[in-house]
Structure 1
């Protein structure tokens, strides 16, 4: 019925029919004509597209100091890249972040690989989660491989609604730091390496010892540090590189961003949805 409305009207229902088709059936539910129209709209929008900050309730990203988008895609095994606007990419990433492994592998199916932004490329999406039970080890290894090729690589999680922060920092093929504060009692099990200079400096600003041992710290000290870390990922990312939360229309940009399939997307497809372009 919806496809018939798209073909023959009535005209007042055609736009709504397209949205509902996308929501319940995804791209495969659209006619070849509608798919071509969407692709054409994206091409037109890309002509004036400019960087926009990453936004969403739960944010996951990898940052690499290079403009070698093709090399990152190949190294991470990402396939079928398709050009997208920043608005479309952010809408897709935000939608996927609201699902988790319990909802099926669709949340890991795709990522946005940005154009070069002030010398950096971002890979964003739920698949990039550095502390997820299913993804943590793979992201650790991905950062090692990326840093072996490009010198550095970082992965972040940030819960923008007060759900904590986590990061992985790798240099020259080795992870030098992994740290997480999300309120999970097992956060400490993820810790690797010594505190980064930024962490030490931040503790001094809070009046805390720059080096610490949770086993010997007071409960008040631990609470103060935990609440500071909960919101730290974006600031740390900006301090040691570039944060996708701070990019904007004036950020230097080269190339075009793409949505690409992960191994989960290749095997299982992507979830349906209607998104802004």
Structure 2
């Protein structure tokens, strides 16, 4: 005869909404006892998340977290890893006790030894580029806090897939939200002729959307000499690239900008301006380069796969609010 609690867990994934809600309500009513039964449906790896367990564990709140910490320390053994994922999903790094936080930090340091090359999103995203040797200046200009070492896999997930913004209902008007961002390791440009050879890239979708990547590039360049903003939006079939030096726009392109190009053409755009013949279907490229990644390849660092020979050091996670550490953002991150 099947265990009645396990039958309720199976009901969480039923097609019928009423059945799912009834199962969740019944499991919540059981309190902490339900946690050990719900944990087996927590996902791990690339698809880590609470999945069908979420409506129960979220509603149990602190009661679930206490039980999950108990499982981490006392077992059962097969559920310890699941408990760690669930704790991270519910409350981020702040939900982990000191031993688990230390274990995670050691794991990150070990992973640095294997991170000989990195891979950054190439099909979509938005990012800032700034000279790597102006790291401290960039951190100050952007108002970043609580910098913590991280792997690139961890950082990309934190800035593009996880919860990268938190609302602060009791904050002052100028600080209504906190954002989590990822700063890459030092990355060397493929172009040996560039005056700036080594760059860092900042990823943080919500931060760049809310604060405007164009405005942030201007601010960064004022302090760091030069900064770029790149954006690739396949959903709207749009691309942008923006180069600022000493606080001013030098050159930009935007699919839906009017005009599309601003500023004087840069030297690398000569091939685009001289390439298409009159009447060619690609004649619009005669004004310059319309591709964000191709512009990045010629101006700083193109996203995508970057081999070991062009990487140095490790990445960083950071928060934009002094009172909100990066560990407060919920979600289990791959390492």
Which residue number in structure 2 is paired with residue 114 of structure 1? 184
2:121 counterpart of 1:59: no
**Runs of at least 5 residues in structure 1 that lack an aligned partner in the other structure:** 210-219
**C-alpha distance in structure 2 between counterparts of 1:51 and 1:191, whole Å:** 34
**C-alpha distance in structure 1 between counterparts of 2:114 and 2:228, whole Å:** 29
1:106 and 1:268 in contact (8 A); partners too: no
**Greater Rg over alpha carbons, structure:** 2
The 1:188–1:268 alpha-carbon spacing in structure 2 relative to 1, beyond 3 Å, is farther
Shift of 1:260: 0.8
User: Which protein, 1 or 2, shows the higher relative CO under an 8 Å CA cutoff with sep ≥ 6?
Assistant: 1
Shift of 1:13: 1.0
**C-alpha distance in structure 2 between counterparts of 1:262 and 1:208, whole Å:** 49
- State TM-score, norm by structure 1: 0.75
Q: Which moved more, 1:9-18 or 1:52-61?
A: 52-61
Which residue number in structure 1 is paired with residue 13 of structure 2? none
Which residue number in structure 2 is paired with residue 217 of structure 1? none
1:87 and 1:276 in contact (8 A); partners too: yes
The 1:6–1:66 alpha-carbon spacing in structure 2 relative to 1, beyond 3 Å, is closer
Which residue number in structure 1 is paired with residue 204 of structure 2? 125
Which residue number in structure 2 is paired with residue 154 of structure 1? 228
Show the 5 A alignment for 1:184-195: 187-188=257-258, 192-195=262-265
Which residue number in structure 2 is paired with residue 140 of structure 1? 214
**Runs of at least 5 residues in structure 2 that lack an aligned partner in the other structure:** 1-66, 170-174, 189-197
Which residue number in structure 1 is paired with residue 77 of structure 2? 11
1:179 and 1:191 in contact (8 A); partners too: yes
Which residue number in structure 2 is paired with residue 244 of structure 1? 303
1:58 and 1:159 in contact (8 A); partners too: yes
2:227 and 2:245 in contact (8 A); partners too: yes
Which residue number in structure 1 is paired with residue 318 of structure 2? 260
CA offset digits 1:229-256 (Å, max 9, x no partner): 4xx1111100122223242222142x33
Give the one of 152, 159, 169 matched to 1:86: 152
**C-alpha distance in structure 1 between counterparts of 2:284 and 2:166, whole Å:** 30
CA offset digits 1:207-266 (Å, max 9, x no partner): 469xxxxxxxxxx779889xx94xx1111100122223242222142x332111114984
**C-alpha distance in structure 2 between counterparts of 1:121 and 1:31, whole Å:** 32
2:117 and 2:305 in contact (8 A); partners too: no
Q: Secondary structure at the match of 1:14?
A: helix
CA offset digits 1:114-141 (Å, max 9, x no partner): 2322211111221463xx4x322xx333
**C-alpha distance in structure 2 between counterparts of 1:242 and 1:81, whole Å:** 23
- State TM-score, norm by structure 2: 0.63
Shift of 1:35: 1.4
Shift of 1:51: 3.5
Which residue number in structure 2 is paired with residue 170 of structure 1? 244
